Amino acid sequence: MTNGQQDNEKKQEQIRVDHVVKEITRKINYLSENVKDLKESVIDIRREFWEDVTVNLEELDDFYETEASIKQQAEFLSERERSHGQFSERIDTLKRLKDSPYFGRIDFKEDDEKEEMPIYIGLASVMDENDEEFLVYDWRAPISSMYYDFPPGPANYDTMEGNISGEILLKRQYMIRNGELKGMFDTGLTIGDSLLQAVLGNQASTKMKSIVATIQREQNQIIRNEKSKLLVVQGVAGSGKTSAALQRVAYLLYRYRETLTSEQIVLFSPNPLFNSYVATVLPELGEDNMQQMTFYQYLNRQLPKSIALESPFEQMEYYLNGEGENFKTRKEAMHIKASLAFKAFIDDYLDQLGEAGIIFRNVTFRGKAIVKKEDIAKYFYSLDDHISLSDRVEETMEWITKEVRSFEKKEVGADWLRDEIELLDKEDFLDVHQRLEDRQPFEEDSFNDYTKEEELLRKKVLTRKLRPLKTKIKRKAFVDRLKTYRQLFEQTAYQRKTEGLGNAWEAISDLTAQSLKDKQLTWEDATAYVYFEKELIGFNDVRTIKHVFIDEAQDYSPFQFAFIKKLFPVSRMTLLGDINQAIYAHALHEESLLSEKLEEKHERVELTRSYRSTEPIVSFTKSFMPNGHLIEPFERDGSLPVVMEVENLKMVEEKTLDFIEMYQEAGHQTIAVIAKTLAESKELYELLKDRVDAELMTQETQNFGKGVAIIPAYLAKGIEFDAVIIPNASNENYQNALERNLFYTACTRAQHELVLLSIGEPSAFIQDVPTKHYKHYKVHAIFKNSR
Ligand SMILES: Nc1ncnc2c1ncn2[C@@H]1O[C@H](COP(=O)(O)OP(=O)(O)OP(=O)(O)O)[C@@H](O)[C@H]1O
């Protein structure tokens, strides 16, 4: 194409952009008018709600009529409110489209047609003025899939009616900003390296961005997968796993919009910081966010406040600091308790409990056991042992409730109630009085009234006093699950099969029993305990959830995954993770969920291309990972990582400050100092806080802004920064396999710049990297200002 032709073509394209923008503007105006009307109508309905409802409660028929009338009016109101909400959302989407109505186009000629059709693809669909033709197709529409899946040439896509094949004659990408065509490129298979270069070259943001315009073919496989019940994605650091997961949520919400809502999708995320990091992606795509939580948050919510649950980060900190007399035992426990052998051990115990051994509590009221634990046990174990434990607990609960009811009947005459009546509020007396009057308006016998009144008052007090107890019974507090669980670890209690639990089991048992006695639940016990409890008192599985996403799935143990599957029995699952970023103690021993040997039937997708970091950073990080040769960098220039050996902590402080200043001057907005542990992060924070504006990130941190973050590596999971400084990459600090993964996780957070400081000899992992992949400096104390 000559330059003149190109200019002409660009002009034509701009004319089309203008036309589409004009139509979008017309639609926005039209909808805004409607929204205004709807808003007024909602306000009117609310104001006049009771005027338009016929209220008549005298006769039963009238009552029903009134009820129907209220219902009708309420439905009318909520229908209006819903329409108002939908219109507003559509206006928001159109406003986004007005700025950039589409990003891609394919000219597709169907096999039986003579002429090709240009298909323009954008964030959402836009019809022409007569609602006949698509001016823009939603990126999730079936026809749009070809844009991501095929280069120019033969192509096909699936529809409800079957597969449609034909030929793509042109594939084009656009950069449109503020309604102006800034650039366009005709592309082949991969979607615009030049566009991707531009996107990835930008500064990292504190919020993740959507990648619709540049989704790659292999990512599209994840996004549009509809067949598998279990989809497993092993993707190297920065390969777009999280991005693909979020686009997938948006895709599913579109594809199944009649039957699927965002509340029916759950994403388990690695840390609270990550929740806010990804929070804007779906709203940007015009969809609501799915439910999002960390697995720790989920487990913690299941436990009573009296139990102190260790977080995975606290466990990690304990593990990395490697101190304490029981360290070896706990380390072993972390690995054993992650296993399915441990689950089998618990299942076996649960079987035994079917015969005997559950520890019950007295049901106590005012210091007196009104149902004794021995009687509860007797009742429980008199029930048919073919019935599951939880069903028997349920039946026992009903029996206890009856017992309490008969106690209540007798107790109503107790002396203590008289004193309590004295303490009642005036409102309570009035209420009882009113009830008596309603019941017997013409009763003359005032003596009888008086005793009735006292009886009602007594009942009122008693009911109120018994309420907390009844709630506890409903929650099955009469089963002492913590003690029953603890019994499993107390040496004398049971003859147990301990195969598969290793030689250290006795020591592990003692340690576990001790911490349970103190009401401390370690992270390695958390899943097991909640699982045990649910098996015992009832597994309220969650059938409303249709899709579960687990990000950073390599960090979940087989036991945890088995538990999650049991919790969401009807959900489809998408597991995404990276074996190289497995940082929990258990993950090194146990079979990973991402392993090719995963027994479950599943479909597996591998992502090997890394988009986040520049090519020099990827070349550096891949060099010290086993199977690193499988990691492919995306070609994007940048400076070589810097490894700097220094002599002491003071120099770390000075150099960190120098680099921060340099990066800030270069315009980088998010800079992270990524330490190995929280202890190390705190130490650095204390050194730096008066000299630079920096924020210390802990497990409680929910958000991060632009600027300098000091953060332990395990909390930086899933997140990215323009520049990363590793303050102590010494051999002493990063040695074993787990530390290697932690080190890799830390380094791969960098988008543009990476520097590693080391007090003394750098980590052996760095020594594995060919020297051409980094710049190496040794700085001695006397030259401390040079680099
Ligand atoms: N197709 C794409 N187009 C544009 N940017 C992309 C694409 N795929 C990935 N990216 C960018 O690469 C970066 C890494 O993506 P993401 O965080 O989804 O990767 P990840 O595999 O979850 O990483 P990690 O496991 O290291 O946390 C993000 O900035 C994301 O926007």
Same domain, 466 and 427: yes
Same domain, 67 and 131: yes
Same domain, 288 and 202: no
Q: Is residue 401 part of a domain?
A: yes
- What separation in Å is there between the alpha carbon of 234 and the centre of ligand 1? 13
- Write the Ramachandran bin of 456: left for phi over 0, alpha for psi from -120 to 50, otherwise beta: alpha
User: Ligand 1: which of 211, 581, 748 to mutate, judged by most atoms within 8 Å of the beta carbon?
Assistant: 211
Q: Is residue 596 part of a domain?
A: yes
CB 496 within 8 A of CB 353: no
Statement: residue 305 has pLDDT above 60? yes
Confidence bin at 641 (pLDDT 50/70/90) = very high
Give the closest residue (by CA) to ligand 1 atom 25: 237
Mean pLDDT of 23-32: 91
Same domain, 230 and 192: no
Which of 152, 186, 209 corresponds to the end of one domain?
Answer: 209
Q: Is residue 9 part of a domain?
A: yes
Give the closest residue (by CA) to ligand 1 atom 12: 612
Range in 189-198, 344-353, 653-662 with the lowest mean pLDDT: 189-198
Statement: residue 660 has pLDDT above 90? yes
- What separation in Å is there between the alpha carbon of 361 and the centre of ligand 1? 52
Confidence bin at 787 (pLDDT 50/70/90) = very low
The 10s digit of each residue's pLDDT in 375-419 is: 999 999 999 989 999 999 999 999 999 999 999 999 888 888 888
The 10s digit of each residue's pLDDT in 750-771 is: 999 999 999 989 999 998 899 9
- What separation in Å is there between the alpha carbon of 241 and the centre of ligand 1? 6
Range in 148-152, 318-322, 452-456 with the lowest mean pLDDT: 452-456
- What separation in Å is there between the alpha carbon of 236 and the centre of ligand 1? 10
Q: How far is CA 635 from the centre of its chain?
A: 31
Give the closest residue (by CA) to ligand 1 atom 5: 211
pLDDT at 443: 54
CB 373 within 8 A of CB 427: no
- What separation in Å is there between the alpha carbon of 225 and the centre of ligand 1? 19
Position in ligand 1 atom list of the atom nearest CA 244: 18
The 10s digit of each residue's pLDDT in 242-252 is: 999 999 999 99
Binding-site residues, in ranges, read 235-242
Q: How far is CA 592 from the centre of its chain?
A: 20
Q: What ipTM does this complex have?
A: 0.99
Place of tokens 């599913």: 252
Mean pLDDT of 278-302: 91
Percent of the chain scoring above 90 in pLDDT: 60
Give the closest residue (by CA) to ligand 1 atom 16: 240
Same domain, 172 and 44: yes
Same domain, 621 and 737: yes
Mean pLDDT of 36-40: 70
Statement: residue 493 has pLDDT above 70? no
Q: Is residue 394 part of a domain?
A: yes
CB 624 within 8 A of CB 744: yes
Position in ligand 1 atom list of the atom nearest CA 719: 27
pLDDT at 786: 43
Tokens of 735: 């040695």
Give the closest residue (by CA) to ligand 1 atom 29: 612
pLDDT at 427: 78
- Specify which residues 754 forms β-bridges with: 724
**First CA to last CA distance, the chain:** 50
- What separation in Å is there between the alpha carbon of 681 and the centre of ligand 1? 26
Position in ligand 1 atom list of the atom nearest CA 209: 31
d(CA 638, CA 99): 31
pLDDT at 56: 58
Percent of the chain scoring above 70 in pLDDT: 89
Mean pLDDT of 699-724: 91
Position in ligand 1 atom list of the atom nearest CA 717: 27
- Specify which residues 230 forms β-bridges with: 573
Contacts 24+ apart (CB under 8 A), 659-664: 659/723, 659/725, 659/755, 660/692, 660/694, 660/708, 660/725, 663/722, 663/723, 663/753
Binding-site residues for ATP, in ranges, read 235-242
Q: Is residue 8 part of a domain?
A: yes
CB 461 within 8 A of CB 420: yes
pLDDT at 70: 67
Tokens of 346: 């618990």
Same domain, 623 and 742: yes
Same domain, 176 and 289: no
Counting the structural domains of the chain, the total is: 4
pLDDT at 324: 76
- What separation in Å is there between the alpha carbon of 237 and the centre of ligand 1? 8
Nearest C-alpha neighbor of 605 from the set 581, 625, 629, 578: 578
Give the closest residue (by CA) to ligand 1 atom 1: 215
Position in ligand 1 atom list of the atom nearest CA 237: 26
Which of 447, 475, 503 corresponds to the end of one domain?
Answer: 475
User: Ligand 1: which of 611, 715, 741 to mutate, judged by most atoms within 8 Å of the beta carbon?
Assistant: 611
- What separation in Å is there between the alpha carbon of 578 and the centre of ligand 1? 13
- What separation in Å is there between the alpha carbon of 208 and the centre of ligand 1? 9
Beta strands at 368-371 and 363-365: parallel, antiparallel or unpaired: antiparallel
**With a threshold of 0.95, does the pTM exceed it?**
no
Same domain, 603 and 640: no
Mean pLDDT of 448-468: 80
CB 141 within 8 A of CB 199: no
The 10s digit of each residue's pLDDT in 46-81 is: 666 666 555 555 566 666 666 676 677 667 667 766
- What separation in Å is there between the alpha carbon of 235 and the centre of ligand 1? 10
pLDDT at 420: 77
Position in ligand 1 atom list of the atom nearest CA 215: 1
Q: Is residue 286 part of a domain?
A: yes
Give the closest residue (by CA) to ligand 1 atom 14: 238
Same domain, 264 and 173: no
Give the closest residue (by CA) to ligand 1 atom 27: 718
Mean pLDDT of 598-604: 82
Which of 174, 209, 244 corresponds to the end of one domain?
Answer: 209
Give the closest residue (by CA) to ligand 1 atom 26: 237
Give, in degrees to the nearest 5, the angle at Cα 554 between 313 and 591.
Answer: 115
Statement: residue 189 has pLDDT above 70? no
d(CA 574, CA 295): 15
- What separation in Å is there between the alpha carbon of 448 and the centre of ligand 1? 79
Nearest C-alpha neighbor of 635 from the set 212, 104, 220, 201: 201
Neighbouring residues of 678: CB distance < 8 A, sequence distance ≥ 6: 313, 317, 698, 712
d(CA 364, CA 370): 6
Q: Is residue 23 part of a domain?
A: yes
- What separation in Å is there between the alpha carbon of 611 and the centre of ligand 1? 6
CATH (domain of 274)? 3.40.50.300
- Show the ligand 1 pocket: residues with CB < 6 angstroms: 196, 199-200, 209, 211, 214-216, 219, 235, 237-243, 578, 611-612, 718, 720, 748
Range in 111-125, 407-421, 599-613, 660-674 with the lowest mean pLDDT: 407-421
Same domain, 651 and 761: yes
Position in ligand 1 atom list of the atom nearest CA 208: 31
- What separation in Å is there between the alpha carbon of 609 and the centre of ligand 1? 10
Q: Is residue 671 part of a domain?
A: yes
Give the closest residue (by CA) to ligand 1 atom 4: 211
Mean pLDDT of 580-607: 77
User: Ligand 1: which of 148, 249, 612 to mutate, judged by most atoms within 8 Å of the beta carbon?
Assistant: 612
Confidence bin at 635 (pLDDT 50/70/90) = confident
| Axis crossing angle, helix 523-537 with helix 340-353, rounded to the nearest 10 | 40
User: Ligand 1: which of 242, 621, 722 to mutate, judged by most atoms within 8 Å of the beta carbon?
Assistant: 242
User: Ligand 1: which of 196, 243, 631 to mutate, judged by most atoms within 8 Å of the beta carbon?
Assistant: 243
CB 755 within 8 A of CB 747: no
Question: Which residues span the domain enclosing 161?
Answer: 3-209
The 10s digit of each residue's pLDDT in 527-562 is: 999 999 999 998 777 789 999 999 999 999 989 999
Same domain, 583 and 634: no
